[in-house]
Chain A
Amino acid sequence: MVASSLRSFIKDVRNAKTLADERSVISKQSAKIRTKLRDDRLSNEKKRANIQKLLYLYILGEKTHFGQVGSINLIASDEFVDKRLGYLATILLLDESQDLLTLLTNMLNNDLQHPNKYIVALALNTLGCLSSTELARDLYPDVENILKNSSDPFLLKKALQCNAKLIQKDRSLLEIFPVSLIGSKLIDSANISTHGVLLGVCKVLQAILITFDKSFNKTGEDTATEQEDDDEYQEDVGILKTIAEYIQPLSYRLSTLNSKSLEPSYDVQGIQDPFLQCELLVTLKWFFKIGNNLGLEEITRHNTAFNDRLTQIATNTSALKNPGNAILYEVTRTIFELNLTQPLRVLGVNILANFLAPTKNANNTSNNVKYVGLNTLVSVVPEEPKAVQRYRKFISQCLYDYDISIKFRALELTFEIMDEENFVELTTELMNFLEKISKSHYHYATSYIDIDDSKDLILYTVDHLLEKFEVFTNSDDKTKLDALMNTLKMAGSFVDLDRTNEFIVAINNIDDLKYKIALLSKELAELLDEKKNADAESSACLELTIVWCIGEYVDLIIANPNTNKNIVNEKSIIQFLSKLNNTYRLSKESKMVHYILTAALKLSTKINDKALVEELRQIIVSHSKDTNLMTQTKSIHYELLFNQPDNIKKQFLQAMPKFEKKTTSRGLETHPIAKEPKKQNDLLLDLLNDTEFGKIATKEPTIAQPEKPNDVLADLLGSSTSKPKEKLQIPSESVLIHKGTEIEVYEKTIDISSGLAHLELYVKALNNKLTDIQPLCAVPKTQKITLSQLQPSNSMNAGETVKQSLRINGSGKLKLRIKMSFCVGDASAVVSEQFDYKLDQTI
């Protein structure tokens, strides 16, 4: 009867033809259960049926809170079946934070002393899952009682697990917990120390050790309670010395488990109880972690033996199946977490690298170990760079793995192991990778890889390549230039036009002028050759770079004897520019137009043919009525300059100096948008301080710095005209959205309409002077954010405020992730504070 009514309910839900049907079945039943559970006269059998149905509702994700008391009532029954269901329902429906838990105290107390061991087991299980600190204190004696008096492994293992949980809840229980019990009774006795009991012992020891680890790390932080701390510390060390005696027997158990295969019931795919082996390893790891930190002789004297044991396990364990790999992986984690001796670390790297080894039939198992192997290797590189580098072939192969997360990690690792020595080799490898992945991107219909994923991969590669190019200044310039050009060609269409600046900076900073010119003349020849170029697609990014290079190097390119003059000559170059100018005239990419204008202006000083110069002038003049105000201004300024005598013009238009770039950190994830207007501005300021440019620049900065996006310049024009610093006040209608250690941030909404929001952030320095403040903002993918300049400047004294206004276009909920980085006081280290802010409004 009971089963059938639950059954029929489940069947009804399953048979519902539409969602609406299903909803009605569920809500009817839910209402029925609600009334039934209120009825005190209901027989236990009926109650059970209702609670079972309630649990089915729980699995379906329905509201079930009304059944909590009913579940607890069921526990009070004397019948095992009632108790079992009652406890199950209690565990599922309640969580540790609820006040109702106190209702359980008495019932658990009774049941923990019950003569029926199955009922005791139920109570232990429940206490292990749901224990508040009060519950832990009240019921601990019952659990200890079982540990002391029972000799049934079935109960002991549960009591141990439960005890471990209680210690985690309330550390003061450690003072009364008789740790010696573990040794005399639980480890030594053959009848009692089953695998289950040993698992429990491991858990209790781990709980103790982790608790110690936490408090030892905390000691010294607050000096007020030093005396107390000291007493506690001595006590803890006392306990530690007692449990240190178990290192040897546990380690022995580990080695017997690992070397012999005796009990078929614990065999998992040819490995003897991998679960217990892993738990033993983890437990021992904690022992040594704490022992070595404190220099506790009772523990450290086992170090050598433990190292030998790890070597032994590493050699004995088969890596064919998952359980063996799990053990090997735990061994390597132990080695690196404890930072053991160098031979062991190399052993660890070898194990992990073997995880990456290509297998004949790729499947999940091999991918699982690849994933964990790569994950760990990334963190190991700083300690054992050479050992990891030895396996770069394996790592490179993982770049071509099917699994995107493996690709990503392999990529990360490749950059991690890159140094001056293997720079050329790895860059070549990455170029191959880029080529393959950008091809597969274009033909995504037949490829396995997700289109967004491949874009992320490409951007990640490009970002980090650029970063590495900056770091390895001594490396081969030829490789760098080749790589830059190749990257632009292969990945140019993925890179944001704003990021192109970094390519240009990188090209600008390369010293080997001869090779640079040779390469550029080759590239230009390819680009200008119309026969070849008929159907080749070129990206805006590449075009922008080429336009810049034309402005900078055209005289050198034409003078280069190897340049194919039939294709690359002044005429064809100017044609190229004006063609590009026509293409982009009406597009929104004003950046491209600006670059073209600058290139045309620069070019005019480098050629003599009157007709061609006039063509250049036409390019510039063509924008004098541009609807984009910035472009128009630029065009008119340039035209003025264009008409100046050559000697004045030349002074303005000298080759760019080397860029000093401020490094900015970039996370692995490509955030939708994180603009850094400050950075560009700093660059500008640096440049403006440059003596030669300085004088001219103050008159007309637009000309001195044609490389930078114009809007930033506009801001600069507005702010750098040395206005007196006025003190900014936080408006009264703004709200506090973040309070950190150094700053407070207030938000004021200026305007929110559909598709556009305008906000202002006020950042207040609390205690210290802050300099070099850089705001970073990210919004959901459906939106775009524009950050303006910080007002009045990017530094402030304690108590002062700066303002940052934001414009967000797009659609969706307004959500911001904001990161403010700055230097505190006179320190040069960059500190950052990050927080999220959600507005209740949608645009």
Chain B
Amino acid sequence: MGIRFILCFNKQGVVRLVRWFATDDSSTEPQEEISQIYRLISSRDHKHQCNFFELSETTKLVYKRYAGLYFVMGIDITDEEPIYLSHIHLFVEVLDAFFGNVCELDIVFNFYKAYMVMDEMFLGGEIQEVSKDVLLERLSTTDRLE
């Protein structure tokens, strides 16, 4: 159940965010798995092909491209796909509002803040908060504590 991993990489396959919630028992190295996922996703037609596909016997991928960045979620094979697309969209919307018109460089240089956003939204691979207002309020408070 739930999200197994969240990935964010750009069109060249350079990883910007990576987060594993469930460790797979498969023997493939995480790094290898990421580059495999990148190859699969980047070869897909991003206008016409659907945003889901099965990666393995345990994992399905849900992904979406925003400008030059791919946001990818690996979810359990038994989960339904469309709602996770909304998860991704919400995550990107919150990033956008939090950084103020987010771009790739914001995430590169402030990756730890992007992780902060992720941790406010997801806990152990499950969504915990869905209101943008609540999330942003909370994030700006903790951000100021620095």
Task: Point out residues on A near B: beta carbons under 8 Å.
Answer: 6-7, 10, 14, 52, 55-56, 58-61, 80-81, 84-85, 88, 91-92, 95-97, 118, 124-125, 128-129, 154, 157-158, 161-162, 164-165, 194-196, 199-200, 203, 206, 210, 265-266, 268, 273-276, 278, 322-323, 325-326, 329-330, 333, 362-364, 367-372, 402-406, 448
Beyond A92-B115, A157-B129, A326-B86: 5 further Cβ-contacts under 8 Å?
A59-B18, A85-B112, A323-B83, A372-B82, A448-B45
Q: Which residues of A contact B101 (CB under 8 A)?
A: none
Please state if A265 and B50 are interface contacts (CB–CB under 8 Å): no
Known: A59-B18, A370-B50. A265 touches B131 (CB 8 A): yes
For the side of the interface on B, what is the size category?
35 or more
Known: A266-B130, A368-B51. A59 touches B16 (CB 8 A): yes
Please state if A88 and B115 are interface contacts (CB–CB under 8 Å): yes
User: CA–CA, A61 to B38, complex, Å?
Assistant: 14
Please state if B145 and A323 are interface contacts (CB–CB under 8 Å): no
Please state if B87 and A275 are interface contacts (CB–CB under 8 Å): yes
Q: Which residues of B contact A275 (CB under 8 A)?
A: 83, 86-87, 90, 127, 130
Please state if B128 and A157 are interface contacts (CB–CB under 8 Å): yes
Please state if A61 and B31 are interface contacts (CB–CB under 8 Å): yes
Q: Which residues of B contact A118 (CB under 8 A)?
A: 141-142, 145
Please state if B131 and A266 are interface contacts (CB–CB under 8 Å): yes
Top 5 A-B pairs, shortest CB-CB distance: A326-B82, A128-B124, A367-B50, A326-B83, A402-B48
B97 contacts partner chain A, Cβ-Cβ < 8 Å: no
B108 contacts partner chain A, Cβ-Cβ < 8 Å: yes
Q: Which residue of A lies closest to B136 (CB)?
A: A265
Q: Closest CB-CB distance, A30 to chain B, in whole Å?
A: 15
Q: Closest CB-CB distance, A143 to chain B, in whole Å?
A: 12
8 A Cβ contacts from B32-51 to A: 34, 45-51
Which single member of B21, B52, B83, B127 contacts A129 (CB below 8 Å)? B21
Please state if A323 and B86 are interface contacts (CB–CB under 8 Å): yes
Q: Closest CB-CB distance, B89 to chain A, in whole Å?
A: 8
Q: Which residues of B contact A405 (CB under 8 A)?
A: 49-50, 53
Q: Which residues of B contact A58 (CB under 8 A)?
A: 18
Please state if A265 and B142 are interface contacts (CB–CB under 8 Å): no
Q: Which residues of B contact A165 (CB under 8 A)?
A: 124
User: CA–CA, A774 to B12, complex, Å?
Assistant: 46
User: CA–CA, A256 to B1, complex, Å?
Assistant: 26
Q: Which residues of B contact A56 (CB under 8 A)?
A: 111
Please state if B86 and A161 are interface contacts (CB–CB under 8 Å): no
Please state if A154 and B131 are interface contacts (CB–CB under 8 Å): no
Q: Which residues of B contact A124 (CB under 8 A)?
A: 123
Q: Which residues of B contact A203 (CB under 8 A)?
A: 126
**Selected A-B contacts with CB under 8 Å, 13 pairs:** A59-B16, A158-B123, A161-B124, A194-B134, A196-B134, A275-B86, A278-B83, A325-B82, A329-B80, A364-B47, A364-B51, A370-B50, A372-B80
Greatest chain A CB density within 10 A among B15, B127, B132, B138 is at B127
Q: Which residues of B contact A210 (CB under 8 A)?
A: 1
User: CA–CA, A413 to B105, complex, Å?
Assistant: 45
Interface string of B46-90 (1 = CB under 8 A from A): 111111110000000000000000000000000011110111011
Task: Point out residues on B near A: beta carbons under 8 Å.
Answer: 1, 15-21, 23, 30-31, 34, 45-53, 80-83, 85-87, 89-90, 108-109, 111-112, 115-116, 119, 123-134, 138, 141-142, 145-146
Known: A125-B119, A157-B128. A368 touches B81 (CB 8 A): yes
User: CA–CA, A369 to B134, complex, Å?
Assistant: 30
User: CA–CA, A97 to B112, complex, Å?
Assistant: 24
User: CA–CA, A276 to B124, complex, Å?
Assistant: 17
Q: Which residues of A contact B132 (CB under 8 A)?
A: 265
Q: Which residues of A contact B111 (CB under 8 A)?
A: 55-56, 59
Please state if A406 and B124 are interface contacts (CB–CB under 8 Å): no
Which single member of A157, A194, A368 contacts B50 (CB below 8 Å)? A368
Greatest chain B CB density within 10 A among A6, A7, A97, A203 is at A203
Known: A61-B15, A367-B48. A55 touches B112 (CB 8 A): yes
Please state if B130 and A371 are interface contacts (CB–CB under 8 Å): no
Which single member of B52, B108, B129 contacts A10 (CB below 8 Å)? B108
User: CA–CA, A6 to B85, complex, Å?
Assistant: 32
Q: Which residues of B contact A161 (CB under 8 A)?
A: 123-124, 126, 128
Please state if A81 and B146 are interface contacts (CB–CB under 8 Å): yes
User: CA–CA, A363 to B49, complex, Å?
Assistant: 8
Q: Which residues of A contact B112 (CB under 8 A)?
A: 52, 55, 85, 88
User: CA–CA, A59 to B109, complex, Å?
Assistant: 12
Please state if A330 and B83 are interface contacts (CB–CB under 8 Å): yes
User: CA–CA, A402 to B1, complex, Å?
Assistant: 31
Please state if A92 and B82 are interface contacts (CB–CB under 8 Å): no
Q: Which residue of B lies closest to A96 (CB)?
A: B23
Please state if B50 and A196 are interface contacts (CB–CB under 8 Å): no
Please state if B23 and A367 are interface contacts (CB–CB under 8 Å): no
Q: Which residue of B lies closest to A368 (CB)?
A: B50
Greatest chain A CB density within 10 A among B50, B52, B89, B134 is at B50
Q: Which residues of B contact A162 (CB under 8 A)?
A: 123-124
Q: Which residues of A contact B123 (CB under 8 A)?
A: 124-125, 128-129, 158, 161-162
User: CA–CA, A514 to B89, complex, Å?
Assistant: 63
Which single member of A84, A199, A330, A367 contacts B80 (CB below 8 Å)? A330
Please state if A274 and B83 are interface contacts (CB–CB under 8 Å): yes
Q: Which residues of A contact B126 (CB under 8 A)?
A: 161, 164, 199, 203
